[in-house]
Structure 1
Amino acid sequence: MNNTAHIAQIIKNHDQELRRVMFRRCGCIETAADIVQETYHRMFAGNLWLQAENPRALLHRIAANLATDYDRRRNIRNQYAGDDSAEEVERVSDGIDPEQITVAKQRLDRLVAAVDTLSPKCRTVFVLRKFEDLSHAEIAERLGISRNMVEKHLRNAMQALQQIDDL
């Protein structure tokens, strides 16, 4: 069986199950489809499927990691870019200028948009370093990349995110 046929067979065997699991996890069919698509991209672009003893388990692990990244991004967005809650009203009454809040929200929106434009690997490295406080060595081990690549991804992320201050 050639590589293309083998890849097609892996997708055929596991696609519906993977989509169901991701839908149950994130609650959105479009997001689940995006996660599954990115899962295939990572598995087949890196030729991980050639090394996998159990392609199904690897697909599920990659998808679970992507779903975790999605959850983190969503939680960060919700935490910092929430709606007009009672907490925000309380901050305004504590003497914070509403204009400052608006400017801060706009800056945060630009930051979230900039993080979303990073490549998936770069974004993952950034989140692991800045939000989970993992060391470069821990990130390299977790993602199976070199420490130099971790540093390169962080440098690229910081350059991209620094541009929002320039706006």
Structure 2
Amino acid sequence: MSEKKSHLIHELFVRNRRALTAYLVRRVGSEAAHDLLQETFVRALRHDRFDDVADPPAFLQRIAANLTRDYGRRRRTEAKYLSFDRILGEPPSWDAPQDEIVDRDRRAQRLASAIEALPPRCREVFELCAFEDMPLPEIARRLGVTERMVRQHMRIAMQRCWAAIR
């Protein structure tokens, strides 16, 4: 990365952080806002021709808006398809001992946290496979990555999920 680009991004961050954070908090809440703010600037840094962008603050706003749309879409998908029963097993019966019910709830919370903590691409691969029953070759085609990379993401996701619920 060039010194000029690094300096430009730093200046944009200093000038636009507060406004972008406020925008993101309004759209996705304070928990996710800081992660999306960071991702906004990471994407700007990765943009090959950032030096040619006519209005960098507007460009950052567009990136943030796209990220909030993706975030909302992901949350809707999770709410629709996310069923921990497939990973955690059948829920305890209504007459099960209270400690069994509490234990399953705790494991479910740890699993949800583990999934949320996965790197974005790893989480996306895991969700497509685990909750949408998409085959690995189709995930690779859809995401534009190799099947080997999809298998690697799944291996990491499964290790972390299993570790979280044990």
TM range, smaller chain: 0.5 to 0.7
The CA deviation at 1:24 is: 2.9
Partner of 2:56: none
Runs of at least 5 residues in structure 2 that lack an aligned partner in the other structure: 54-58, 85-90
Kindly indicate whether the alpha-carbon contact (under 8 Å) linking 2:140 and 2:150 is maintained by their aligned counterparts in 1.
yes
Match of 2:5 among 3, 6, 30: 3
Distance between the aligned counterparts of 2:13 and 2:141, measured in 1? 28
User: 1:41-80 to 2 correspondence within 5 Å?
Assistant: 41-44=42-45, 47=46, 49-50=47-48, 55-56=59-60, 57-69=62-74, 71=75, 75=79
Distance between the aligned counterparts of 2:65 and 2:98, measured in 1? 45
CA RMSD of aligned residues (A): 3.7
Kindly indicate whether the alpha-carbon contact (under 8 Å) linking 2:136 and 2:151 is maintained by their aligned counterparts in 1.
yes
Letter in 1 for 2:115: V
Partner of 2:41: 40
Partner of 2:104: 104
Partner of 1:84: none
Q: What SS does structure 1 have at the residue aligned with 2:32?
A: helix
Match of 2:24 among 14, 22, 25: 22
Distance between the aligned counterparts of 2:144 and 2:17, measured in 1? 25
Distance between the aligned counterparts of 1:140 and 1:125, measured in 2? 9
Partner of 2:120: 120
Aligned length: 149
Give CA-to-partner distance per residue, 1:76-111, whole Å, 9 cap, x none. Answer: 8x987xxxxxxx9xx63xx33333212211221222
| Percentage of matched positions with identical amino acids | 27
Letter in 2 for 1:145: V
Q: What SS does structure 1 have at the residue aligned with 2:133?
A: coil
Distance between the aligned counterparts of 1:59 and 1:137, measured in 2? 30
Distance 1:43 1:155, change over 3 A: farther
Kindly indicate whether the alpha-carbon contact (under 8 Å) linking 2:40 and 2:63 is maintained by their aligned counterparts in 1.
no
Distance 1:15 1:140, change over 3 A: farther
Distance 1:66 1:96, change over 3 A: same
